[in-house]
Amino acid sequence: MTHELPAPVQRYFAYALPQIRQVNEARLRQTGVLRTDMKRDKWLHFIAKQRFTRGAFEWQAKVAVWGPFSVAVTDSYAAGVGSGKVQLFSWLTLAAERDKPELNEGALHRYLAEGVWCPTNLLPAAGVQWRVVDDHRAIASIDDHGVHVELEFTFAENGAVQEIYTPARFGRFGKSYKRCPWRGRFADYREVQGMRIPFFGEVGWQIDGKWEWVWRGDIADADYDLA
């Protein structure tokens, strides 16, 4: 039930989920660009597959790094544990991390933000609590296996999520983690299997008072297993 939620959140679910239902699994294909060094304006092309279930996601991407060479990147979150791995030639691991407090929290922030691609993951039944900021903004919070995060969602007049924001998400900068402001923007909503999801998104960090966008992606297709 959504009638007890803040008004902007009610508008969102009326827009994104005209008929409330449960998604058992969401599968998306993405294309886009990203950069790993915010001091350089070098963007790398990627193709990716992403899978969502309630409380979990996995993102598998191939990122073109030079000519015919690419690296495989896998990010995931499940049961309070975040992980990330970068491999070359599918067998040489260049970097890997798993189950660090900063990584777990950052991954849960990402899971909550990317709920726009699996809208039933943002329902109270999925563990998300909402509190109002004003007529166009609300704070979503979630506790999962001892990890707690919050995000501010900004909604358009029709209910679509336009933006997400937190003043303090953990990110890895160089060899260490630190909390920085993090923002995402979404657009190009389309209907898929009775739901409305954005087909464009971008995210970035605020560093030294300046917003640095680091990821831009388009949804190539989306498929859902519905309860």
Q: What is the pLDDT of residues 52-81, one digit of tens each?
A: 999 999 999 999 998 888 999 999 999 999
Q: What does the domain layout of the chain look like in residue ranges?
A: 7-226
Residue 109 has pLDDT above 80, yes or no: yes
Q: Residue-wise over 107-129: b if at least 16 C-beta within 10 A, else e?
A: bbbbbbbbbbbbbbbbbeebebe
Nearest to 140 by CA among 131, 148, 170: 131
Amino acid at 148: H
Fold for 7-226, please state it: outer membrane lipoprotein receptor (LolB), chain A (2.50.20)
Confidence at residue 21, expressed as pLDDT on a 0 to 100 scale: 85
Q: Give the pTM.
A: 0.96
Q: How many CB atoms lie within 10 A of CB 27?
A: 14
For CA atoms 112, 113, 118, 119, the dihedral sign is: positive
Average pLDDT over residues 121-125: 97
Write the CA distances from 61 to 45, 76, 83, 156, 172, integer angstroms.
Answer: 10, 12, 14, 30, 19
Query: Taking a C-beta distance cutoff of 8 angstroms, is the pair 152, 141 a contact?
Result: no
Q: Given a cut of 70, is residue 11 above it in pLDDT?
A: yes
* Confidence band, pLDDT 50/70/90 cuts, at residue 89: confident
Ramachandran bin of 63, using left for φ above 0, alpha for ψ from -120 to 50, beta for the remaining angles? beta
Q: Cβ distance 31 to 218 under 8 Å? A: yes
Quick one: how far is CA 189 from the chain centroid? Answer: 16
Please state, for a pLDDT cut of 70, what percent of the chain lies above it.
100
